[in-house]
Chains A and B, each alone.
Chain A
Amino acid sequence: MSPWDPTVARLTWHSVLGRRRALVLLLLPVALLALCALARALAALEGGDAEVSDALAVDLLAGFGLGVLMPLLGLIAGTGVIGPEIDEGSIVYLLTKPIDRFTIVLTKLGVAVAVVLLLGVLPVAASGLVLTGELDLVTAGFTVGALSGGLAYCALFLLLAVVTRHAVVVGLIYALVWESVVGQFVPGVQNLSAQQWSLATVVGVFGDDAERLELSAAVGPATGWVLLVVVAVGSTVYAGLRLRRLRLGAEV
Protein backbone atom coordinates (compact mmCIF):
# COMPACT_ATOMS: atom_id res chain seq x y z
CA MET A 1 0.00 0.00 0.00
CA SER A 2 1.31 3.38 -0.92
CA PRO A 3 0.34 6.28 1.32
CA TRP A 4 -0.17 8.70 -1.57
CA ASP A 5 -2.00 8.62 -4.87
CA PRO A 6 -1.33 11.61 -7.12
CA THR A 7 -4.63 11.30 -9.01
CA VAL A 8 -6.69 11.22 -5.82
CA ALA A 9 -4.69 14.22 -4.64
CA ARG A 10 -5.32 16.14 -7.86
CA LEU A 11 -9.08 15.44 -7.82
CA THR A 12 -9.26 16.43 -4.16
CA TRP A 13 -7.22 19.58 -4.58
CA HIS A 14 -9.44 20.57 -7.47
CA SER A 15 -12.64 20.06 -5.51
CA VAL A 16 -11.38 21.94 -2.44
CA LEU A 17 -9.71 24.92 -4.06
CA GLY A 18 -11.29 24.77 -7.49
CA ARG A 19 -14.10 27.17 -6.84
CA ARG A 20 -15.43 29.99 -4.76
CA ARG A 21 -14.85 28.17 -1.52
CA ALA A 22 -11.23 29.25 -1.81
CA LEU A 23 -12.40 32.78 -1.03
CA VAL A 24 -13.88 31.75 2.30
CA LEU A 25 -10.65 29.99 3.09
CA LEU A 26 -8.64 33.08 2.25
CA LEU A 27 -10.74 35.24 4.54
CA LEU A 28 -9.25 33.54 7.59
CA PRO A 29 -5.51 34.13 7.10
CA VAL A 30 -6.20 37.59 5.72
CA ALA A 31 -8.11 38.48 8.89
CA LEU A 32 -5.27 37.25 11.08
CA LEU A 33 -2.61 39.13 9.14
CA ALA A 34 -4.71 42.29 9.09
CA LEU A 35 -5.13 42.14 12.85
CA CYS A 36 -1.43 41.69 13.42
CA ALA A 37 -0.58 44.49 11.03
CA LEU A 38 -3.03 46.72 12.87
CA ALA A 39 -1.50 45.87 16.23
CA ARG A 40 1.92 46.63 14.87
CA ALA A 41 0.73 49.93 13.40
CA LEU A 42 -0.89 50.94 16.66
CA ALA A 43 2.26 50.10 18.56
CA ALA A 44 4.28 52.19 16.13
CA LEU A 45 1.90 55.12 16.54
CA GLU A 46 2.09 54.95 20.28
CA GLY A 47 5.80 55.37 20.66
CA GLY A 48 9.22 54.87 19.21
CA ASP A 49 9.28 51.19 20.06
CA ALA A 50 7.88 49.61 16.91
CA GLU A 51 7.59 46.11 18.34
CA VAL A 52 4.47 44.81 19.93
CA SER A 53 5.00 43.56 23.46
CA ASP A 54 5.52 39.80 23.64
CA ALA A 55 2.51 39.33 25.90
CA LEU A 56 0.21 41.00 23.38
CA ALA A 57 1.68 38.99 20.51
CA VAL A 58 1.06 35.82 22.48
CA ASP A 59 -2.51 36.91 23.22
CA LEU A 60 -3.24 37.59 19.57
CA LEU A 61 -1.67 34.43 18.23
CA ALA A 62 -3.25 32.23 20.89
CA GLY A 63 -6.66 33.89 20.76
CA PHE A 64 -7.14 34.41 17.06
CA GLY A 65 -4.50 32.14 15.53
CA LEU A 66 -4.92 28.95 17.54
CA GLY A 67 -8.39 29.77 18.88
CA VAL A 68 -10.25 30.80 15.72
CA LEU A 69 -8.15 30.35 12.60
CA MET A 70 -6.88 26.81 13.06
CA PRO A 71 -10.12 25.09 14.15
CA LEU A 72 -12.19 26.75 11.41
CA LEU A 73 -9.57 26.13 8.74
CA GLY A 74 -9.12 22.55 9.93
CA LEU A 75 -12.88 22.10 9.82
CA ILE A 76 -13.29 23.43 6.30
CA ALA A 77 -10.23 21.64 4.92
CA GLY A 78 -10.78 18.38 6.83
CA THR A 79 -14.44 17.98 5.90
CA GLY A 80 -13.99 19.63 2.51
CA VAL A 81 -11.57 17.02 1.16
CA ILE A 82 -14.11 14.21 1.45
CA GLY A 83 -17.52 15.39 2.69
CA PRO A 84 -18.98 16.82 -0.53
CA GLU A 85 -17.79 13.80 -2.52
CA ILE A 86 -19.53 11.39 -0.15
CA ASP A 87 -22.59 13.57 -0.12
CA GLU A 88 -22.86 13.83 -3.88
CA GLY A 89 -21.91 10.22 -4.44
CA SER A 90 -18.97 11.01 -6.70
CA ILE A 91 -16.68 9.22 -4.23
CA VAL A 92 -17.89 6.05 -5.93
CA TYR A 93 -15.39 6.75 -8.73
CA LEU A 94 -12.57 6.57 -6.20
CA LEU A 95 -13.96 3.56 -4.41
CA THR A 96 -14.48 1.42 -7.51
CA LYS A 97 -10.74 1.33 -8.05
CA PRO A 98 -8.17 -1.18 -6.83
CA ILE A 99 -6.81 1.37 -4.37
CA ASP A 100 -6.48 0.70 -0.68
CA ARG A 101 -8.93 2.77 1.35
CA PHE A 102 -6.13 3.94 3.60
CA THR A 103 -4.36 5.36 0.56
CA ILE A 104 -7.46 7.42 -0.16
CA VAL A 105 -7.76 8.63 3.43
CA LEU A 106 -4.05 9.42 3.76
CA THR A 107 -3.94 11.25 0.44
CA LYS A 108 -6.97 13.31 1.32
CA LEU A 109 -5.54 14.03 4.75
CA GLY A 110 -2.34 15.11 3.00
CA VAL A 111 -4.26 17.56 0.84
CA ALA A 112 -6.12 18.93 3.87
CA VAL A 113 -2.85 19.37 5.73
CA ALA A 114 -1.34 21.11 2.71
CA VAL A 115 -4.26 23.55 2.69
CA VAL A 116 -3.86 24.15 6.41
CA LEU A 117 -0.10 24.62 6.00
CA LEU A 118 -0.58 27.12 3.24
CA LEU A 119 -3.48 29.08 4.70
CA GLY A 120 -2.95 28.49 8.42
CA VAL A 121 0.54 27.63 9.52
CA LEU A 122 2.33 29.96 7.12
CA PRO A 123 0.09 32.95 8.00
CA VAL A 124 0.59 32.23 11.70
CA ALA A 125 4.35 32.25 11.18
CA ALA A 126 4.06 35.43 9.11
CA SER A 127 1.91 37.03 11.82
CA GLY A 128 4.52 36.17 14.38
CA LEU A 129 7.09 37.91 12.21
CA VAL A 130 4.86 40.93 11.70
CA LEU A 131 4.13 41.23 15.41
CA THR A 132 7.58 40.70 16.85
CA GLY A 133 9.67 41.76 13.91
CA GLU A 134 12.00 38.79 14.18
CA LEU A 135 12.06 35.04 13.97
CA ASP A 136 12.08 34.51 17.70
CA LEU A 137 10.70 32.11 20.27
CA VAL A 138 7.13 33.42 19.99
CA THR A 139 6.98 32.90 16.25
CA ALA A 140 8.62 29.49 16.41
CA GLY A 141 6.38 28.34 19.25
CA PHE A 142 3.15 29.30 17.55
CA THR A 143 4.24 27.86 14.23
CA VAL A 144 4.77 24.53 15.94
CA GLY A 145 1.44 24.90 17.77
CA ALA A 146 -0.44 25.72 14.58
CA LEU A 147 1.13 22.79 12.78
CA SER A 148 0.38 20.24 15.50
CA GLY A 149 -3.13 21.55 16.08
CA GLY A 150 -3.87 21.82 12.37
CA LEU A 151 -2.84 18.23 11.76
CA ALA A 152 -5.06 16.95 14.56
CA TYR A 153 -8.04 19.07 13.45
CA CYS A 154 -7.71 17.87 9.84
CA ALA A 155 -7.62 14.21 10.86
CA LEU A 156 -10.46 14.61 13.34
CA PHE A 157 -12.76 16.50 10.97
CA LEU A 158 -11.94 14.20 8.06
CA LEU A 159 -13.11 11.29 10.21
CA LEU A 160 -16.22 13.24 11.11
CA ALA A 161 -17.00 13.76 7.42
CA VAL A 162 -16.69 10.03 6.78
CA VAL A 163 -18.89 9.15 9.74
CA THR A 164 -21.72 11.67 9.44
CA ARG A 165 -23.32 13.79 6.78
CA HIS A 166 -23.71 16.59 9.30
CA ALA A 167 -19.96 16.82 9.82
CA VAL A 168 -19.75 20.58 9.37
CA VAL A 169 -22.43 21.37 11.92
CA VAL A 170 -21.14 18.81 14.41
CA GLY A 171 -17.60 20.11 13.89
CA LEU A 172 -18.71 23.70 14.41
CA ILE A 173 -20.44 22.75 17.62
CA TYR A 174 -17.27 21.04 18.79
CA ALA A 175 -15.00 23.94 17.83
CA LEU A 176 -17.28 26.74 19.01
CA VAL A 177 -19.42 25.41 21.77
CA TRP A 178 -17.32 22.64 23.29
CA GLU A 179 -13.85 24.16 23.05
CA SER A 180 -14.82 27.76 23.68
CA VAL A 181 -18.07 28.19 25.55
CA VAL A 182 -18.28 24.98 27.57
CA GLY A 183 -14.53 25.11 28.13
CA GLN A 184 -14.89 28.50 29.81
CA PHE A 185 -17.35 27.24 32.38
CA VAL A 186 -16.28 23.65 32.88
CA PRO A 187 -12.50 23.55 33.28
CA GLY A 188 -12.38 19.76 32.90
CA VAL A 189 -13.57 20.11 29.32
CA GLN A 190 -10.34 21.87 28.45
CA ASN A 191 -8.47 18.64 29.02
CA LEU A 192 -10.40 17.30 26.05
CA SER A 193 -9.80 20.16 23.68
CA ALA A 194 -7.44 20.02 20.73
CA GLN A 195 -6.97 23.77 21.08
CA GLN A 196 -5.55 23.33 24.58
CA TRP A 197 -3.34 20.50 23.40
CA SER A 198 -1.86 22.62 20.64
CA LEU A 199 -1.37 25.43 23.17
CA ALA A 200 0.45 22.89 25.30
CA THR A 201 2.90 22.22 22.47
CA VAL A 202 3.53 25.97 22.26
CA VAL A 203 4.18 26.03 26.00
CA GLY A 204 6.57 23.15 25.43
CA VAL A 205 8.58 25.14 22.87
CA PHE A 206 8.61 28.19 25.14
CA GLY A 207 9.93 26.09 28.02
CA ASP A 208 10.89 28.33 30.92
CA ASP A 209 9.82 31.45 29.05
CA ALA A 210 6.17 30.39 29.09
CA GLU A 211 5.60 32.00 32.46
CA ARG A 212 7.13 35.29 31.38
CA LEU A 213 4.97 35.25 28.23
CA GLU A 214 1.90 34.53 30.35
CA LEU A 215 0.94 31.49 28.34
CA SER A 216 -0.51 28.40 29.95
CA ALA A 217 -2.40 25.36 28.77
CA ALA A 218 -4.77 22.96 30.46
CA VAL A 219 -2.40 20.02 29.97
CA GLY A 220 1.36 19.58 30.05
CA PRO A 221 3.41 19.75 26.81
CA ALA A 222 4.16 16.02 26.77
CA THR A 223 0.52 15.13 27.36
CA GLY A 224 -0.48 17.59 24.66
CA TRP A 225 1.81 16.01 22.10
CA VAL A 226 0.73 12.48 23.01
CA LEU A 227 -2.97 13.37 22.83
CA LEU A 228 -2.57 15.16 19.48
CA VAL A 229 -0.70 12.23 17.98
CA VAL A 230 -3.22 9.75 19.37
CA VAL A 231 -6.15 11.77 17.97
CA ALA A 232 -4.50 12.24 14.57
CA VAL A 233 -3.43 8.62 14.14
CA GLY A 234 -6.59 7.19 15.70
CA SER A 235 -8.89 9.33 13.56
CA THR A 236 -7.02 8.43 10.38
CA VAL A 237 -7.06 4.71 11.06
CA TYR A 238 -10.73 4.76 12.00
CA ALA A 239 -11.60 6.88 8.95
CA GLY A 240 -9.89 4.29 6.74
CA LEU A 241 -11.85 1.49 8.39
CA ARG A 242 -15.12 3.38 8.04
CA LEU A 243 -14.44 4.16 4.40
CA ARG A 244 -14.07 0.43 3.78
CA ARG A 245 -17.65 -0.08 4.82
CA LEU A 246 -19.09 3.14 3.52
CA ARG A 247 -22.65 2.72 2.36
CA LEU A 248 -23.50 4.64 -0.75
CA GLY A 249 -27.08 5.72 -1.13
CA ALA A 250 -28.10 2.32 0.13
CA GLU A 251 -31.71 3.28 0.29
CA VAL A 252 -34.04 0.34 0.61
Chain B
Amino acid sequence: MTTVRIHETSRWFGNVVAVNDVTMEIGPGVTGLLGPNGAGKSTLINLMSGFLAPSSGTVELDGRAVWGDEQVYRRLGLVPEREELYDGLTGWTFVLANARLHRLPDPAAAARRSLETVEMVDAQDRPIRTYSKGMRQRVKMASALVHDPEVLLLDEPFNGMDPRQRLHMMELLTTLGDQGRTILFSSHILEEVEQVATRIEVMVAGRHAASGDFREIRRLMTQRPHQYRIRSADDRRLAAAVMAEPCVSAVELVTGRDGTTAVVVQATDFSAFVHALPVLASTQGIRLHEVLPTDESLESVFGYLVAR
Protein backbone atom coordinates (compact mmCIF):
# COMPACT_ATOMS: atom_id res chain seq x y z
CA MET B 1 0.00 0.00 0.00
CA THR B 2 1.74 3.09 -1.20
CA THR B 3 0.49 6.63 -0.85
CA VAL B 4 1.63 9.81 -2.52
CA ARG B 5 0.93 12.69 -0.18
CA ILE B 6 0.94 16.28 -1.36
CA HIS B 7 0.68 18.70 1.50
CA GLU B 8 0.01 22.43 1.14
CA THR B 9 2.14 22.44 -1.97
CA SER B 10 2.57 25.39 -4.25
CA ARG B 11 4.82 25.82 -7.23
CA TRP B 12 5.38 29.07 -9.03
CA PHE B 13 7.49 30.05 -12.03
CA GLY B 14 8.42 33.69 -11.70
CA ASN B 15 5.13 35.51 -11.39
CA VAL B 16 2.98 32.63 -12.53
CA VAL B 17 1.55 30.27 -9.96
CA ALA B 18 1.13 26.87 -11.59
CA VAL B 19 0.09 24.91 -8.51
CA ASN B 20 -1.58 26.82 -5.74
CA ASP B 21 -1.70 25.41 -2.21
CA VAL B 22 -2.75 21.89 -3.11
CA THR B 23 -3.26 19.14 -0.58
CA MET B 24 -4.17 15.69 -1.80
CA GLU B 25 -3.52 12.05 -1.16
CA ILE B 26 -3.23 9.49 -3.91
CA GLY B 27 -3.76 5.94 -2.70
CA PRO B 28 -3.96 2.51 -4.34
CA GLY B 29 -6.29 2.16 -7.31
CA VAL B 30 -6.70 4.33 -10.38
CA THR B 31 -7.00 8.05 -9.78
CA GLY B 32 -7.76 10.47 -12.55
CA LEU B 33 -6.27 13.95 -12.45
CA LEU B 34 -8.78 16.01 -14.33
CA GLY B 35 -8.53 19.60 -15.41
CA PRO B 36 -8.56 21.88 -18.42
CA ASN B 37 -5.34 22.63 -20.28
CA GLY B 38 -3.02 24.80 -18.27
CA ALA B 39 -4.60 23.85 -14.96
CA GLY B 40 -1.30 22.69 -13.53
CA LYS B 41 -1.71 18.95 -14.06
CA SER B 42 1.70 18.51 -15.65
CA THR B 43 3.36 20.62 -13.00
CA LEU B 44 1.72 18.50 -10.32
CA ILE B 45 2.92 15.29 -11.98
CA ASN B 46 6.41 16.77 -12.30
CA LEU B 47 6.29 17.56 -8.58
CA MET B 48 5.18 14.02 -7.77
CA SER B 49 7.83 12.46 -9.96
CA GLY B 50 10.66 14.52 -8.49
CA PHE B 51 11.37 16.70 -11.51
CA LEU B 52 10.36 19.90 -9.80
CA ALA B 53 10.97 21.12 -6.28
CA PRO B 54 7.87 22.47 -4.59
CA SER B 55 8.15 26.21 -4.00
CA SER B 56 6.44 25.56 -0.69
CA GLY B 57 4.88 22.55 0.99
CA THR B 58 5.89 18.91 0.71
CA VAL B 59 5.46 16.06 -1.74
CA GLU B 60 6.09 12.68 -0.18
CA LEU B 61 5.98 9.03 -1.12
CA ASP B 62 5.10 7.08 2.03
CA GLY B 63 6.58 9.82 4.17
CA ARG B 64 9.78 10.29 2.14
CA ALA B 65 10.30 13.52 0.22
CA VAL B 66 10.34 12.86 -3.52
CA TRP B 67 12.51 15.81 -4.58
CA GLY B 68 16.23 15.23 -4.83
CA ASP B 69 16.10 11.52 -4.02
CA GLU B 70 16.69 9.29 -7.00
CA GLN B 71 16.00 6.21 -4.85
CA VAL B 72 12.25 6.93 -5.12
CA TYR B 73 12.41 5.68 -8.70
CA ARG B 74 12.79 2.15 -7.35
CA ARG B 75 9.13 2.38 -6.39
CA LEU B 76 7.84 4.90 -8.90
CA GLY B 77 7.33 4.74 -12.65
CA LEU B 78 6.66 7.72 -14.89
CA VAL B 79 5.13 7.78 -18.35
CA PRO B 80 5.94 11.26 -19.65
CA GLU B 81 3.75 13.12 -22.10
CA ARG B 82 6.47 13.81 -24.65
CA GLU B 83 6.79 11.39 -27.50
CA GLU B 84 10.54 11.35 -27.96
CA LEU B 85 12.25 8.07 -27.32
CA TYR B 86 15.58 6.67 -28.36
CA ASP B 87 14.34 6.34 -31.91
CA GLY B 88 17.17 4.24 -33.26
CA LEU B 89 16.66 1.43 -30.75
CA THR B 90 14.12 -1.33 -31.06
CA GLY B 91 11.32 -1.65 -28.53
CA TRP B 92 13.11 -4.59 -26.96
CA THR B 93 16.52 -2.95 -26.57
CA PHE B 94 14.87 0.18 -25.20
CA VAL B 95 12.90 -1.63 -22.51
CA LEU B 96 15.87 -3.84 -21.74
CA ALA B 97 18.06 -0.76 -21.32
CA ASN B 98 15.51 0.62 -18.88
CA ALA B 99 15.63 -2.64 -16.93
CA ARG B 100 19.42 -2.50 -16.82
CA LEU B 101 19.34 1.13 -15.69
CA HIS B 102 17.24 -0.04 -12.76
CA ARG B 103 20.00 -2.57 -12.01
CA LEU B 104 17.44 -5.36 -11.90
CA PRO B 105 18.81 -8.84 -11.15
CA ASP B 106 17.34 -10.33 -14.34
CA PRO B 107 16.80 -7.46 -16.79
CA ALA B 108 15.89 -9.66 -19.75
CA ALA B 109 13.11 -11.42 -17.86
CA ALA B 110 11.79 -8.11 -16.55
CA ALA B 111 11.78 -6.57 -20.03
CA ARG B 112 10.01 -9.61 -21.46
CA ARG B 113 7.35 -9.55 -18.75
CA SER B 114 6.84 -5.83 -19.17
CA LEU B 115 6.47 -6.03 -22.95
CA GLU B 116 4.00 -8.87 -22.49
CA THR B 117 1.94 -6.74 -20.13
CA VAL B 118 1.53 -4.01 -22.74
CA GLU B 119 1.15 -6.56 -25.55
CA MET B 120 4.08 -5.30 -27.56
CA VAL B 121 5.96 -8.58 -27.93
CA ASP B 122 5.10 -8.89 -31.64
CA ALA B 123 6.56 -5.52 -32.51
CA GLN B 124 9.46 -5.53 -30.06
CA ASP B 125 12.15 -6.09 -32.69
CA ARG B 126 11.17 -3.18 -34.88
CA PRO B 127 12.92 0.19 -34.47
CA ILE B 128 10.90 2.60 -32.33
CA ARG B 129 11.09 5.07 -35.22
CA THR B 130 8.54 2.94 -37.09
CA TYR B 131 6.00 2.78 -34.24
CA SER B 132 2.58 4.37 -34.29
CA LYS B 133 1.53 6.74 -31.54
CA GLY B 134 -0.30 4.05 -29.61
CA MET B 135 2.68 1.71 -29.84
CA ARG B 136 5.02 4.40 -28.59
CA GLN B 137 2.72 5.02 -25.68
CA ARG B 138 2.76 1.30 -24.86
CA VAL B 139 6.54 1.07 -25.07
CA LYS B 140 6.79 4.08 -22.77
CA MET B 141 4.42 2.26 -20.46
CA ALA B 142 6.54 -0.90 -20.63
CA SER B 143 9.65 1.09 -19.74
CA ALA B 144 7.87 2.56 -16.73
CA LEU B 145 6.59 -0.85 -15.60
CA VAL B 146 9.81 -2.76 -16.04
CA HIS B 147 10.80 -2.54 -12.37
CA ASP B 148 7.31 -3.42 -11.15
CA PRO B 149 6.71 -0.06 -9.44
CA GLU B 150 4.13 0.49 -6.72
CA VAL B 151 3.31 3.93 -8.07
CA LEU B 152 2.73 4.76 -11.71
CA LEU B 153 2.27 8.34 -12.90
CA LEU B 154 1.04 8.97 -16.44
CA ASP B 155 0.89 12.38 -18.07
CA GLU B 156 -1.92 12.56 -20.64
CA PRO B 157 -1.60 8.88 -21.64
CA PHE B 158 -4.59 8.98 -23.99
CA ASN B 159 -3.42 11.91 -26.10
CA GLY B 160 -3.43 11.13 -29.78
CA MET B 161 -4.65 7.56 -29.41
CA ASP B 162 -7.33 6.10 -31.59
CA PRO B 163 -10.40 4.58 -29.90
CA ARG B 164 -9.05 1.01 -29.99
CA GLN B 165 -5.70 1.98 -28.51
CA ARG B 166 -7.55 4.06 -25.95
CA LEU B 167 -9.66 1.10 -24.92
CA HIS B 168 -6.60 -1.09 -24.59
CA MET B 169 -4.83 1.48 -22.43
CA MET B 170 -7.92 1.81 -20.23
CA GLU B 171 -8.05 -1.95 -19.67
CA LEU B 172 -4.38 -1.95 -18.81
CA LEU B 173 -4.78 0.84 -16.26
CA THR B 174 -7.75 -0.93 -14.69
CA THR B 175 -5.77 -4.16 -14.38
CA LEU B 176 -2.81 -2.41 -12.83
CA GLY B 177 -5.09 -0.62 -10.40
CA ASP B 178 -6.76 -3.87 -9.41
CA GLN B 179 -3.32 -5.27 -8.57
CA GLY B 180 -3.20 -2.74 -5.76
CA ARG B 181 -0.86 -0.28 -7.41
CA THR B 182 -1.22 3.44 -7.01
CA ILE B 183 -1.98 4.77 -10.46
CA LEU B 184 -2.46 8.42 -11.33
CA PHE B 185 -3.14 9.69 -14.81
CA SER B 186 -3.93 13.17 -16.04
CA SER B 187 -6.48 14.09 -18.64
CA HIS B 188 -8.60 17.01 -19.71
CA ILE B 189 -11.37 14.82 -21.07
CA LEU B 190 -14.16 13.98 -18.67
CA GLU B 191 -15.25 10.78 -20.41
CA GLU B 192 -11.79 9.23 -20.29
CA VAL B 193 -11.55 9.75 -16.59
CA GLU B 194 -15.07 8.53 -16.07
CA GLN B 195 -14.35 5.16 -17.65
CA VAL B 196 -11.19 4.26 -15.77
CA ALA B 197 -10.80 6.18 -12.57
CA THR B 198 -12.44 5.22 -9.35
CA ARG B 199 -11.41 8.46 -7.77
CA ILE B 200 -10.80 11.80 -9.34
CA GLU B 201 -8.91 14.89 -8.37
CA VAL B 202 -9.96 18.02 -10.22
CA MET B 203 -7.51 20.85 -10.85
CA VAL B 204 -8.59 24.25 -12.11
CA ALA B 205 -6.23 27.19 -12.59
CA GLY B 206 -3.65 25.64 -10.31
CA ARG B 207 -6.09 24.98 -7.51
CA HIS B 208 -7.49 21.74 -6.22
CA ALA B 209 -11.13 22.11 -7.20
CA ALA B 210 -12.67 18.82 -6.21
CA SER B 211 -11.78 15.36 -5.17
CA GLY B 212 -13.53 12.14 -4.42
CA ASP B 213 -15.79 9.61 -6.03
CA PHE B 214 -16.47 10.32 -9.66
CA ARG B 215 -20.24 9.85 -9.57
CA GLU B 216 -20.60 12.17 -6.63
CA ILE B 217 -18.72 14.92 -8.41
CA ARG B 218 -20.67 14.32 -11.55
CA ARG B 219 -23.89 14.84 -9.62
CA LEU B 220 -22.58 18.07 -8.16
CA MET B 221 -21.68 19.16 -11.63
CA THR B 222 -25.10 18.51 -13.14
CA GLN B 223 -27.01 20.00 -10.25
CA ARG B 224 -25.44 23.39 -10.53
CA PRO B 225 -27.45 26.27 -12.07
CA HIS B 226 -27.42 26.08 -15.84
CA GLN B 227 -27.67 29.03 -18.16
CA TYR B 228 -29.39 29.02 -21.52
CA ARG B 229 -29.71 31.58 -24.19
CA ILE B 230 -32.96 31.26 -26.13
CA ARG B 231 -34.13 33.03 -29.25
CA SER B 232 -37.79 32.71 -30.12
CA ALA B 233 -40.63 34.27 -32.07
CA ASP B 234 -41.78 36.19 -28.99
CA ASP B 235 -39.04 36.60 -26.42
CA ARG B 236 -41.00 38.71 -23.94
CA ARG B 237 -43.94 36.33 -23.71
CA LEU B 238 -41.59 33.37 -23.47
CA ALA B 239 -39.69 35.06 -20.65
CA ALA B 240 -42.89 35.59 -18.70
CA ALA B 241 -43.97 31.99 -19.23
CA VAL B 242 -40.58 30.52 -18.34
CA MET B 243 -40.42 32.45 -15.10
CA ALA B 244 -43.48 30.58 -13.91
CA GLU B 245 -41.55 27.28 -13.96
CA PRO B 246 -40.31 26.26 -10.50
CA CYS B 247 -36.96 25.05 -11.87
CA VAL B 248 -36.10 28.52 -13.19
CA SER B 249 -34.39 30.96 -10.87
CA ALA B 250 -33.83 33.98 -13.10
CA VAL B 251 -34.80 35.31 -16.51
CA GLU B 252 -33.33 38.21 -18.38
CA LEU B 253 -34.21 39.82 -21.69
CA VAL B 254 -31.11 40.90 -23.52
CA THR B 255 -30.56 42.83 -26.71
CA GLY B 256 -27.52 41.92 -28.79
CA ARG B 257 -25.33 44.40 -30.57
CA ASP B 258 -27.07 43.65 -33.83
CA GLY B 259 -30.47 44.49 -32.35
CA THR B 260 -31.67 40.91 -31.95
CA THR B 261 -33.18 40.01 -28.63
CA ALA B 262 -32.80 36.83 -26.61
CA VAL B 263 -33.92 35.38 -23.32
CA VAL B 264 -31.26 34.32 -20.88
CA VAL B 265 -32.58 31.74 -18.46
CA GLN B 266 -30.95 30.47 -15.32
CA ALA B 267 -32.27 27.04 -14.35
CA THR B 268 -31.55 25.32 -11.04
CA ASP B 269 -32.55 21.88 -12.23
CA PHE B 270 -31.03 20.94 -15.51
CA SER B 271 -33.21 17.96 -16.40
CA ALA B 272 -36.49 19.52 -15.27
CA PHE B 273 -35.86 22.56 -17.42
CA VAL B 274 -34.95 20.74 -20.60
CA HIS B 275 -38.14 18.75 -20.27
CA ALA B 276 -40.32 21.74 -19.42
CA LEU B 277 -39.13 24.11 -22.15
CA PRO B 278 -40.49 22.36 -25.28
CA VAL B 279 -43.83 21.63 -23.59
CA LEU B 280 -44.14 25.21 -22.55
CA ALA B 281 -43.24 26.53 -25.99
CA SER B 282 -45.79 24.39 -27.73
CA THR B 283 -48.66 25.18 -25.31
CA GLN B 284 -47.92 28.89 -25.59
CA GLY B 285 -47.51 28.64 -29.34
CA ILE B 286 -44.10 30.30 -29.31
CA ARG B 287 -41.70 29.11 -31.95
CA LEU B 288 -38.18 28.50 -30.64
CA HIS B 289 -35.40 29.53 -33.01
CA GLU B 290 -32.40 28.61 -30.95
CA VAL B 291 -31.57 27.14 -27.53
CA LEU B 292 -27.95 27.42 -26.51
CA PRO B 293 -26.39 26.32 -23.25
CA THR B 294 -23.97 29.15 -22.47
CA ASP B 295 -21.69 27.69 -19.86
CA GLU B 296 -21.22 24.06 -20.81
CA SER B 297 -17.46 24.08 -21.21
CA LEU B 298 -15.39 22.06 -18.78
CA GLU B 299 -13.75 25.25 -17.62
CA SER B 300 -17.03 26.81 -16.60
CA VAL B 301 -18.07 23.64 -14.80
CA PHE B 302 -14.83 23.67 -12.87
CA GLY B 303 -15.07 27.40 -12.41
CA TYR B 304 -18.38 26.84 -10.72
CA LEU B 305 -16.99 24.11 -8.49
CA VAL B 306 -14.12 26.33 -7.42
CA ALA B 307 -16.26 29.40 -6.81
CA ARG B 308 -18.59 27.57 -4.47
Residues of A within 8 A of B (CB): 5-8, 10-11, 14-15, 18-19, 88-90, 92-101, 244-252
Contact = CB atoms under 8 A, between A and B. Distances in A.
Ordered nearest first, which 5 A-B pairs have the shortest CB separation? Answer: A88-B84, A89-B82, A7-B100, A97-B101, A252-B18
B78 interface: yes
Given A96-B73, A97-B101, 17 more contacts: A5-B101, A7-B101, A15-B86, A92-B51, A93-B85, A93-B97, A93-B98, A95-B51, A96-B77, A97-B70, A97-B102, A98-B71, A246-B51, A247-B52, A249-B82, A252-B38, A252-B40
Question: How many interface residues does chain B have, given as a range?
Answer: 35 or more
B73 A98 contact: yes
Contacts of B285: none
B89 interface: yes
Contacts of B42: 249-251
Contact of A10 (B18, B84, B97): B97
A95 B97 CA distance: 13
B49 interface: yes
19 contacts: A10-B97, A14-B88, A14-B89, A15-B88, A88-B82, A89-B82, A90-B86, A93-B98, A97-B101, A98-B73, A98-B102, A245-B53, A246-B51, A247-B46, A248-B46, A248-B51, A250-B42, A250-B43, A250-B52
B1 interface: no
B101 A90 contact: no
**Interface of chain A: mostly helix, strand, loop or mixed:** loop
A187 B46 CA distance: 47
A84 B38 CA distance: 26
Contacts, number: 86
Residue among A11, A94, A246, A247 with the highest chain B CB neighbour number at 10 A: A11
A89 B89 CA distance: 16
A228 to B, nearest CB: 30
A90 B143 CA distance: 12
A8 B89 CA distance: 14
Contacts of A100: 70
A92 B97 contact: no
Given A15-B86, A89-B82, A101-B70, A252 B102 contact: no
B86 A89 contact: no
Contacts of B52: 247, 250
B49 A11 contact: no
A89 B103 CA distance: 22
A153 to B, nearest CB: 26
A6 to B, nearest CB: 8
B101 A94 contact: yes
Contacts of A94: 101
Contacts of A101: 70
Residue among A92, A244, A248, A249 with the highest chain B CB neighbour number at 10 A: A92
B70 A250 contact: no
Contacts of A10: 97
Contacts of B88: 14-15, 18-19
Residue among B51, B68, B102 with the highest chain A CB neighbour number at 10 A: B51
Nearest to A14: B88
A250 B51 contact: yes
Contact of B101 (A14, A99, A244, A252): A99
A88 B86 CA distance: 10
Nearest to A6: B100
A44 B70 CA distance: 61
Residue among A5, A89, A100, A252 with the highest chain B CB neighbour number at 10 A: A252
A31 to B, nearest CB: 27
A247 B70 contact: no
Given A92-B78, A247-B52, A252-B43, A97 B13 contact: no
Nearest to B42: A251
A42 to B, nearest CB: 43
A98 B70 CA distance: 5
Given A245-B53, A247-B52, A252-B18, A92 B80 contact: yes
Contacts of B82: 88-89, 92, 249
A108 B143 CA distance: 21
Contacts of B279: none
B16 interface: yes
Contacts of A248: 46, 51, 80
